[in-house]
Amino acid sequence: MKKFLFLFTLLCGISIANAQEKSTDTTKVETLDEVLLTAIRVKPNAPITHSNIKKEALAKRNLGQDMPILLNFLPSVVTTTDAGAGVGYTGIRVRGVSPQSTNITINGIPYNDAESLGTFWVNLGDFASSVESLQLQRGVGTSTNGSGAFGSSINILTDAIANVAFAELSNSFGSFNTRKHTVKFGTGLLNDRFEFSGRLSQIKSDGYIDRAESDLKSYFLQAGYKYGNTLIKALVFGGHEITYQAWYGIDAETLATDRTFNPSGIYTDDDGNIQFYDNEVDNYKQDHYQLHLNQRLNQNWRFNLGLNYTYGRGFFEQYREDDSFEDYGLDNVTVGDETITNTDLIRRRWLDNDFYVANAHASYRNDDLEADFGGSYSYYEGDHFGEIIWAQFAGDSEIRDRYYDGVGKKTDINFFGKSTFRLNDKISLYGDLQLRLVNYTTEGLTSDRINLLVDESYQFFNPKVGATYSIDDSSNLYFSYARANREPNRTDFESNPNIKPEQLNDFELGWRFLSENLQLNINGYYMLYNEQLILTGSIDDVGNPIRNNSGESYRLGLEVEAGLSVGEKLIIQPNFTISSNKNNETFASIDGELVNLGKTNISFSPEFIAGNALTFQPNDQFQLSLLSKYVGEQFMGNTDSEVSKLDSYFVNDLSATYEFRPKSIFKSVILSALVNNIFNEKYVSNGYYFTYDDDFSVPGVITTIEGAGYYPQATTNFLLGATLRF
């Protein structure tokens, strides 16, 4: 850690000392922030399906809910939250693809956990308050850093350097005792070169689900140097989350009678009374250190260097009732003539990890050619271990004895080159080649005390090509083909040592139209998979989804996104996706026999998703929006079982903002209100599905038993906020 901080400081000093003389072209200087993402973002006319979101749009609804919830109304997006109210553990699916297959980068640095491939937004509470812009690419998209995208990628750019000093206080309060407190500040450019800015936030919520409390503390600090053609940013950001778990869900009967019930932490005391352990929490800290150098070498050439270190550590604490000593590698306890084989205990499962990244890329621009090339190196090491911190009968164990200990290490190297060539006034050609080299090793025991030995190396070649045809100044057609390959994660290897990497061939065909009052994007996609790692519907004992290879499968869909101005005060922004998502052949064990079910629906992949934003803005101070989301029925498994079906739902939110500008003290005061689920829809956005064989009820007869769990979402709830800008 100390070595990294020393290098961090040294590089800052070297970079500033080598800054070039000031350029007279101020426009170039102002756009240097965007150089961070030129290698992984695409331009508006690129043959890649994408949506762009600016900070102003995020701010309208940013009253404490997590980033996925703020992106809920984008095309093909489905979001969910364990606690039911958008705070705590949240997830996002795009085109039905699991969150593990959505690649997230922050300033070009991979954010997905390298080992689990998941994205834990809970570790970065209120991060939307530090986002300048983001781009959601659907499909494979362009080459990016980290694990390849298998359904989408989200590329985030954090706050730009502010030229003028500012201070900002934001507070919001609402249902379920939810509250958010944010302080932001910036010095503006000092001596026309230096800027310091930061943010401190706390979000707390009791959650819609019983005891699903969240306490999220986060920070964001930035030091910037801008002079001529040089931009240097040093960033430190992170968070500390303590979240009472709600990942077990509830069964159908409980959903009907007590939909906020949370079984987490339940146990029976010595008097036979039902109790709930008060510290059944996930307690995790994560800190990110980034250094970025953006250099414009001349009119045509740019260079970017990014360095990152991420330090994560924390545990999940759990009360266990009547567990066997054998499960923890402990000896039975003898008291007098009695041998005790089981005990109540409290355990902690720890993850302590380090993640290092170095990115570099160069770009060339002229009137007809845009070219980017570069590479990335990352190294991850994660220690997994478990401790018993209390036991009713301790035997020969000592406090904090480790009952399992394992480590995972991962190296990821990629090289890419891509270019867009303007053939003539009508046609632009796009090409993108990426070579990715991955090595993943594990040793030691899993949390189930099973020896996990993995030593796998993968070489992935990911080509992409496309073309854009400009019909006129208002519209263009585009086509692209992209291949992606992706490795399994740690949980995949734990559930299936013979798990295979997955491959995707993605075809996209679209039409874009833009006029003064209408914007229309129509896109068709065909995603053809080999050994897709699909969600089986099952979860493990800490809520991780279980995946498995599915042979050949596909996703075929049509996405329509529009924006229509009706007069000067009303804007309508509808979108919808119609899709077919199929496993070509599915085998399942039913009543003791392996059965070929033929073609089945892919889990968690609704055939119809729609959204709409109806916005009324009579002036630049007041805005009122009705936000609507429809998600069609979906299966939580891959056997088309009715037990695994989630019903469709239609949810509407109402958002309002009003800004006034006092003549003294404050630059502006912004009042915000958000009413979620205004029609009190009782809906479920996520769940799990499982089967097991019962051979006890009828001797000699195997019967397959099915079951499901559900994560109910909040009924009508509200958030009110005020932002004071100085």
- Tell me 661's DSSP state: -
Residues 6+ apart with CB under 8 A from 259: 250, 682, 712
Residues 6+ apart with CB under 8 A from 698: none
- Give the pLDDT score at 437: 96
Closest-CA residue to 673 (of 615, 717, 720): 720
Distance of alpha carbon 233 from alpha carbon 224, whole angstroms: 5
Q: Which residues pair with 540 in a beta bridge?
A: none
Q: Which residues pair with 529 in a beta bridge?
A: 504, 553
- Give the pLDDT score at 36: 62
- Give the pLDDT score at 147: 66
Stretches where the chain sits below pLDDT 70 are 1-39, 145-148, 696-698
- Give the pLDDT score at 400: 79
- Give the pLDDT score at 512: 96
Angle, CA 462 vertex, CA 456 and CA 464 arms, to 5°: 170
3-class SS of residue 646: strand
Question: Quick check: 476 and 519 in contact, CB under 8 A?
Answer: no
- Give the pLDDT score at 263: 95
Distance of alpha carbon 511 from alpha carbon 45, whole angstroms: 10
Segment holding 210, helix H or strand E:
none
- Give the pLDDT score at 280: 96
- Give the pLDDT score at 539: 87
- State the first-to-last Cα distance of the chain, in angstroms, to the nearest integer: 37
CATH number at residue 152: 2.40.170.20
3-class SS of residue 73: coil
Instruction: Kindly report the three-state secondary structure assignment for every residue of 561-606.
Output: EEEEEECCCEEEEEEEEEEEEEEEEEEEEECCEEEEEEEEECCCCC
Q: How many domains are there within the chain?
A: 1
- Give the pLDDT score at 680: 97
Q: What are phi and psi of 421, to 5 degrees?
A: -115, 125
Question: Quick check: 713 and 154 in contact, CB under 8 A?
Answer: no
Angle, CA 122 vertex, CA 121 and CA 126 arms, to 5°: 80
pLDDT tens profile 512-522: 999 989 999 99
Closest-CA residue to 171 (of 667, 722, 726): 722
Closest-CA residue to 95 (of 45, 149, 44, 58): 149
Distance of alpha carbon 56 from alpha carbon 66, whole angstroms: 16
Residues spanned by the domain of 162: 2-725
Closest-CA residue to 719 (of 176, 151, 96): 176
How much is the mean pLDDT over the chain? 90
Distance of alpha carbon 432 from alpha carbon 142, whole angstroms: 7
- Give the pLDDT score at 92: 93
